[in-house]
């Protein structure tokens, strides 16, 4: 295909108000369901479905199934950069105002909770982000891997890498409230266990919610550079 035609096709996908609204809603890296995206675009589910299929076919969006939901997010950072460039030309400053948060009502639960055997919520996502940013883990949709630097870091935390295969050991899991990935698999479980052992977090009785202790705030800041304001 001609480069002109390819460019026009991609731009035309962004050039529809409904699709633009959906893409805009995904600009912060979160993943949203088809129904939610239909809502922000002000169209019915079936229309949104068609749009999302086209965006995915063109490689602008990536889709991930989780139960009976389908989570959509921008396929690559290049897509986000493209959208920013278009908004720049369009003249409107990109308003960083996040849309209203959808998810668990309980604020504490949004902040930190367990997901099966690992940590989720803002805390879980922050840990995943920090480790990815530091090159300690490499995350992909289908799996992840712990790097050499990551193994050394885990040792320093008191976690020994007894895991067999490194890939299964580090599995990304889509976060319910944050709509971003956190660490699951053997790695996620080990990190979670260690955080409890160190007294950085403690459970709220009869709930999945966990609270970050004072010692935890300091320890997390020290170990991961995380600031959970």
Contact footprint for DNA (CB under 7 A): 12, 16-18, 33-36, 43-54, 63, 67-70
Which listed option, a second copy, DNA, none, makes contact with residue 88 (CB within 5 to 8 Å by class)?
a second copy
d(CA 175, CA 200): 21
Does 13 help bind a second copy (rule: CB under 8 A)? yes
The answer for residues whose C-beta is within 8 angstroms of residue 124's C-beta and 6 or more apart is: 112, 115, 118, 175, 178, 182, 183, 188
Cα 225 to chain center, whole Å? 18
Minimum distance of DNA from residue 206's CB (angstroms): 17
Q: Site for a second copy (CB under 8 A): how many residues?
A: 38
Q: What is the dihedral of CA 213, 154, 73, 85, to 10 degrees?
A: 100
Contact 94, 87 (CB under 8 A): yes
Q: Any idea which residue has 């949004």 for tokens?
A: 110
Does 145 help bind a second copy (rule: CB under 8 A)? no
Does 47 help bind a second copy (rule: CB under 8 A)? no
Does 57 help bind a second copy (rule: CB under 8 A)? no
Of the ranges 8-16, 64-72, 169-177, 200-208, which one interacts with a second copy (CB under 8 A)?
8-16
Minimum distance of DNA from residue 20's CB (angstroms): 10
87's tokens = 């908004």
Compute the Cα dihedral for 131, 218, 178, 15 and give only its sign.
Answer: negative
Does 15 help bind a second copy (rule: CB under 8 A)? yes
Q: What does the binding site for a second copy look like in residue numbers (CB under 8 A)?
A: 1, 3-17, 19-21, 24, 59-60, 76, 78-79, 81-83, 85-92, 94-95
């Amino acid at each position: 295909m001609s480069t002109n035609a390819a460019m026009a096709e991609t731009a035309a996908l962004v050039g529809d108000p409904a699709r633009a609204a959906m893409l805009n809603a995904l600009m912060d890296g979160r993943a949203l369901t088809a129904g939610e995206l239909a809502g922000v675009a002000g169209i019915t589910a079936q229309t949104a479905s068609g749009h999302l299929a086209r965006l995915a076919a063109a490689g602008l969006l990536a889709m991930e199934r989780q139960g009976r939901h389908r989570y959509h997010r921008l396929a690559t950072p290049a897509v986000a950069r493209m959208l920013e460039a278009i908004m720049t030309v369009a003249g409107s400053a990109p308003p960083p105002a996040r849309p209203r948060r959808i998810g668990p009502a309980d604020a504490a639960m949004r902040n930190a909770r367990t997901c099966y055997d690992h940590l989720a919520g803002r805390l879980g996502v922050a840990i995943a982000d920090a480790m990815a940013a530091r090159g300690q883990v490499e995350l992909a949709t289908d799996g992840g891997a712990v790097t050499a630097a990551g193994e050394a870091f885990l040792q320093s935390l008191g976690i020994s890498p007894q895991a067999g295969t490194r890939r299964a050991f580090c599995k990304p899991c889509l976060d319910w409230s944050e709509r971003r990935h956190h660490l699951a698999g053997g790695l996620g479980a080990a990190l979670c266990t260690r955080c409890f052992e160190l007294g950085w977090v403690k459970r709220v009785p009869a709930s999945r919610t966990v609270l970050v202790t004072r010692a935890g705030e300091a320890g997390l800041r020290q170990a991961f550079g995380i600031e959970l304001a």
